[in-house]
Amino acid sequence: MPGDRCLLFWKERWLKRVVLSERKGKAEQTQRRAFHEAASAARSPQSALEAVAGATRYRGSAAKDGSELFSCQATEINRFSRPLPWWDLRQYVRDLRTRNLTILEFLIGLCVGVFDKIQDLRGGSGFGVVSGVNPKTPQTTREICAQIRPMNEIVATLDRRGRNAGSKFRPVMSRYCDKQYRVLRRVTKIIDPASREMISLRGNSVILDGVVCTGKMRRFCPRMVYTYWRDVWLKKVTPQERLNSTSDRPSGRQLAVPTDQTAVCD
């Protein structure tokens, strides 16, 4: 779950091609504006909030301790999907035909998948997995603006399982190391898709603008889920450092430099 910045699934039949005609575009905008104004007039702010709250609550049985249960696309994903075996070649053909992947990305991902499978069978570590030596991992509570630390500094914060306060540093995150990104927000709680309960996250975590799991090491999963970053894996960026940064990011938006030269903080 990507916290409070979840990406939504959209059925293709819910969408339509964008018409480049400016006249038609303006007509559609006018029509949508009229629809929203009518909806707002027919429903009070209080009733609108009640409708939203009702739509996000699970209507089935309650939790064992009586706590509130929630419903969203992530909790219902098993109802509108089915398991996809790795040997079904059609999934890879579709990724290539739709240009979700290049030939090179596909070959690299295939090699990583084969390597990880062999390592799993022999009890070894997967490609890119790192771990540290700390029995108790360090943390920090300061506000972060956002340069991801180099890999060696992050490894120094991990325990033998490759975790910091329970949060695992995953191989897909290594490609973002030593780069600058905008902090979107701090994540303190998420909905557990399995139990539907709201759970609190240990430690201090943030999500960064455009820094997601690309899925290229996980059978090309296109979901693009935000990854969680511990504060201790980041360091504050000064205005001058942002101005001088010309690093080529693998993905994510370039860190904007505000006109008042203040730091971009959470």
What digits encode the pLDDT tens for the residues 101-136?
Answer: 888 988 888 888 888 888 888 888 888 788 887 877
What digits encode the pLDDT tens for the residues 17-62?
Answer: 776 665 555 666 666 666 566 555 555 556 666 776 777 778 776 6
Place of tokens 């979901």: 223
Crossing angle of helices 103-121 and 90-97, in 10° steps, is 150
Q: How confident is the model at residue 255 (pLDDT cuts 50, 70, 90)?
A: very low
Distance CA 65, CA 35 (A): 42
What digits encode the pLDDT tens for the residues 148-176?
Answer: 999 999 999 999 888 998 888 988 899 89
Say if residues 125 and 119 touch (Cβ distance below 8 Å). yes
Does residue 185 carry a pLDDT above 70?
yes
Q: How many CB atoms lie within 10 A of CB 50?
A: 12
pTM over 0.85? The answer is: no
Closest of 202, 180, 220, 187 to residue 5, by C-alpha: 187
Closest of 258, 261, 256 to residue 240, by C-alpha: 261
